[in-house]
Each structure stands twice: as C-alpha cells, then as structure tokens.
Structure 1
Amino acid sequence: MLVDSHAHIDTARFESDREATIQAAISGGVTRIVDPGCDLLSSQFALRLAKEHPGVIFAGVGVHPHDATTYTEDVEAQLRTLAREPEVVAIGEFGLDYFRMLSPRDVQRAVFCAHLQLARETQLPCIIHVRDSHDDVMELLRAHGQGLRGVFHCFSGDVAQAEECLSFDGFMLSFAGPLTKQGNALPDVARMAPLNRILVETDSPYLIPKPVRSRRNEPLFVTHVAQKLADLRGMTLEEVAHATTTNAVRLFGLGEHNEAL
C-alpha cells in the first residue's frame, strides 16, 4: 500500500481517462493520492475530485509560484473557504521558482508568505515547491514559518540543503522521478534522510521515473520511486511503502478518511 503524496490528476492530460487512471493506481496498491492545486480553478477541481473519491483522493489548495501574479485578496478568501472542507489536507502547492521566473521574484516572495499565513490560520501542512530558490525559501521559512509543518515536494537538492530543510522539525522531504535517474545528489539524500521524514510522489503528469516508458506520469508509477528508495536504503519495497504511507497519513491526516480502503 502506497500513498502518492503529490499528483496533479486534475490536469487536462488526464481528461480522457482520469477514472481509469485512478482505478489503475488503486488496483496497483496506490490507495491514496494527494492532488495539490496550482491556482484557484485547479484547487477547486482537486476538491471536487476528492469529494467524488472519498478516502482515495485528497486535495491541496494553493497557487503555484508560476501563477503568483494571479493571487489576489479575493483568491485568498476563496482558498481560505476551500480549506475548511474536510477533504482539503494541505495548503499548496506554493513556493518559489527562480528557474523559469514566470512571476516576478518579489511577487513570488509575497505570495509565499501569504500561503504560510494561510497554513497557520487553517492549521494545515504546507506543500512547498523549491526550484533554484533554496536560500530564499529557507530565509522566509525562518522568518515566517516557525511552528508550521509540511513537505518539500520533489526534493532536488543536495545533502547540505536536505539537512537545512530537515532542521524545520515539522517538515519532510518527498522523492519523485528524479531519484531514479543519474546525475544528481538524490541517492545520498535518500540514504541520509530519517525514515520517518520521507514521502514518495509522482508529480504526475510530469517527471516520469525510470524504467517507465510513457509520455505521461501517473500515480501508479510511484511504485518505481519507492522501489528505488528501497534499493538505496537496503530495504524492501514493503518496508518503504509502510514507512512512507505512515508518514503521509501522519502529515496530512489521511487516517481520518478510510471509507474506500
């Protein structure tokens, strides 16, 4: 039994076979999926999917840094309302992305802090996106994120950066498809991270793991990430599945929604 802690199954790339994709994941042992919104509309859609699949899909609500310029007082108010729904288990996906820079840096930083405040108000965990922005994320978390909890989704840094992320007691690291590929420091991070502070995800439909040959990632493929994590840590897939599922249930409160299991 696995939890895909981050999958955008609300996107148009699943429009033609969304239900079949969800059922394939369940049949393959991926029994719960967290779908984080990237803007107001996708947050609303993620919540709708969660209501349609109780105990299987759970929603996050937030605005991705690429769309930070769309964040207004009205959007914030609507996200706050959505966050009251029991199927919403996180604030996010939000963060800083200095790689593509689709929103100005100062806007991204302001919206990042607004999400931290929303997480504090709602007492929900954060799903944080970090790309080429580690130092700024750490700075803002130290200033505004004390006492919060959450996950650095699709972690892509090195051991030193991982240690800095884990210095925030309530936060976990999540591994995705890049863990299965060469040319990064993730194997070392995967070995050093405490077992009770790690999650697995797909970031579907992106970041297809090896050895999958597909044009689109999907929740079922989180098994490959978990298997790679098991290999690196000298564990069985079952042991990693149990640990990461326990961590996801603890972080997101998924244990309260088991109707479909």
Structure 2
Amino acid sequence: MIDTHAHIYATEFDNDRDEVVQRARAAGIEHILLPNIDLESIEPMLATEAAYPEMCRSMMGLHPCYVDGDVEQTLKTIYSWFDKHNFIAVGEIGIDLYWDKTYRAEQEHAFITQLNWAKELNLPVVIHTRDSIEETLALLKGEQDGNLSGVFHCFGGNLDEAKAINDLGFHLGLGGVSTFKNSGMDKVIPELDLNWVILETDCPYLAPVPHRGKRNEPAYTELVLKRIADVRAMSKQQILDITTQNAKSLFRL
C-alpha cells in the first residue's frame, strides 16, 4: 500500500515517529508521501524524508490555509526549493473556504501560480478542497491544457463531482472519511472508476473508524482499503493492486 498523503513530520509524531513508521511497515505500507503546507513545515518534512529515505517522499507547495497578504513573497520562497531538492509533486495546494474567506483572492492566485509551476516542472499536483470543490474545478478547468495531472485529496464529494474531477484527468484520494457512517461515501464508492482512486490517511487528521477522533497514522491506510473492498464486494488484494499501481503511475514511484 501507498499512503499518498501523510503529515508524519508534524509535531503530533515527535514522540514516537519511529514506532509510527515501523507500524506502517508492518501493515504493508511501501511509501509514505509527505505534502508540504507552509514555510515552517519544510525543514521537519525534509528531515523526516532524510530519516526514512526508502519510504518517505516529499512534495513542495503552499496550503491554502497558510495563504495571507504576503503570499507573493511566500510563493517566491516555496518556488526556490524546487532548485534545491527533488520533489515528487506540487502540493498541498488548493482552495479552502471552510475556515476563513478573507484571502480568497490570494488563495486563487496562489493556486493558479502553483498549477503553472506543475506544468513547467512536469509534476503532478495534490489539491486540497474544503468547501470548495466547485470553485476549484472551475479554476482547474481554466488551466487544464492536457499537461496537468494530480489528485483531489481527501475526497468526500458526490458522484457528479467525482466524474467532473476524473474528466479533467485527476485522481480521487480516499481516506478516513470513506469509513464514516454519515459521510454518504458508502453510496459513492461503489460507483467510482477505480482507475482513478488512490489511498491516503491525511494523518494526523481524519482517522478512520474505529479510531475516529484520535490521531491518525499511515498504518490505518489498511482500514480505508478494507472499507473500499467491503462496499465494492471485492478482495482487499484487488483494491490494493489497483490503487497502488495508480499511485505509482501518478507520482512516478
């Protein structure tokens, strides 16, 4: 399995990161992909990748929740990192209209800027959409010239949204939300095109059932895999093979 979205460099893991990685290995996790969020996360993320080079791979980007009035300078610094390190994706980028809409214009500017980096650098993008799938799709449509690929991470939308995302050539990242009873995903997952599905945790957030409300970790990817297999009436091995191949192909692992 590949956990395509994990913040194991976060302070929540400072006391037991080794054990977390060992549990991931024991659960059959082959790679853990690390999305960047802001300027402060770069150093711990790269240190985590350096500590577990055979498992962890980093991305570089500015998360929409960390966009502010100084976005131009921040983007300049983030972009400079692509010359210093080999990143597997531009991420985590996107639009977040859940917490605060103050910097919506700046979020949109940062998103489009980073989409253009992805085209220039020939890298996939990892997209965060909280209360913003429609808005994000509209912006992405304007930029998709056949040279953009990536994933809408933490997908919890409806079938029409899933189809619109796939039609633009983008994958769906399924994580803990897929296991929540009230998410409605038990109706959506059976209808998804599995060729566009990859697995993730978004740890330390959104732990799957039965750990909901607790700290999430990469080993729990298996619970997401099991949930998809159950609602699709397929074997875990079938889902594992398809989603792992999708992730390897998207991120060129």
Q: Same fold (TM over 0.5)?
A: yes
Instruction: Judge conservation of contact 1:68–1:103 (CA < 8 Å) in 2.
Output: no
In structure 2, relative to structure 1, the CA distance for the partners of 1:92 and 1:108 (3 Å cut) is same
- Flag structure 1 segments of 5+ consecutive residues without an equivalent: 255-261
Sequence identity percentage: 33
- 1:188 deviates by 2.7
Q: Partners in 1 of 2:100 and 2:36 — Cα distance?
A: 19
Q: How far apart, in 2, do the equivalents of 1:94 and 1:209 lie?
A: 23
**Which whole-Å CA distance do the structure 2 matches of 1:13 and 1:227 have between them?**
26
Matches within 5 A, 1:1-261: 2-69=1-68, 72-84=71-83, 87-101=86-100, 103-147=102-146, 148-169=148-169, 171-212=170-211, 215-254=214-253
In the alignment, the residues of structure 2 paired with residue 83 and residue 13 of structure 1 have an alpha-carbon distance, to the nearest angstrom, of 27
Residue aligned with 1:40, SS: coil
Asked whether the equivalents of residues 34 and 58 of structure 2 are also in contact (C-alpha less than 8 Å), the reply is yes
- Whether the 8 Å CA contact 2:206–2:212 is kept in 1: the answer is no
Change (3 A) 1:178 1:192: same
Q: 1:183 to 1:201 in 2, by over 3 A?
A: same
**Separation (CA, whole Å) in 2 of partners of 1:72 and 1:104:** 10
Instruction: Write the letter of the residue equivalent to 2:75.
Output: E
TM score, norm. by length of structure 1: 0.90
CA distance in 2: counterparts of 1:70 and 1:14, whole angstroms: 30
Which residues of structure 2 form unaligned runs of 5+? none
Q: Deviations over 1:25-70 (max 9, x none)?
A: 0121112100101112213432332233223001111111110117
Deviations along 1:204-236, whole A, 9 cap, x unmatched? 001010123672100001100010011111111
Q: How far apart are residue 74 of structure 1 and its match?
A: 4.1
2:101 and 2:18 mapped to 1: Cα distance?
Answer: 32
CA distance in 1, matches of 2:54, 2:86: 9
Q: Distance in 2 between matches of 1:118 and 1:105?
A: 20
Q: Number of paired residues?
A: 252
Q: Which amino acid aligns with 1:150?
A: G
Q: How far off is 1:239 after superposition?
A: 1.3
- Following TM superposition, the consecutive aligned residue runs of length 4 or more in structure 1 with deviations greater than 6 angstroms are none
**Aligned equivalents of 1:76 and 1:115: distance in 2?**
8
CA distance in 1 between counterparts of 2:9 and 2:30 reads 17
Moved more, 26-35 or 102-111: 102-111
- Contact 1:36–1:60, Cα closer than 8 Å, also in 2: yes
Within 2, Cα distance between the matches of 1:124 and 1:53? 22
Which piece of structure 1 moves more, 181-190 or 6-15? Answer: 181-190
Distance 1:208 1:166 in 2: 25
CA-to-aligned-CA distance 1:173-215 (integer Å, 9 cap, x gap): 0111111111223223211222211011111001010123672
- The CA RMSD measured in Å over matched residues stands at 1.8
**2-side partners of 1:92 and 1:47: how far apart?**
14
Greater CA deviation, 61-70 or 171-180? 61-70
Between the aligned partners of 1:130 and 1:251, the Cα distance in structure 2 is: 19
Contact 1:98/1:133 (8 A) holds in 2: yes
Against the structure 1 CA distance between its residues 60 and 222, is the aligned structure 2 distance closer, same or farther, given a 3 Å change threshold?
same
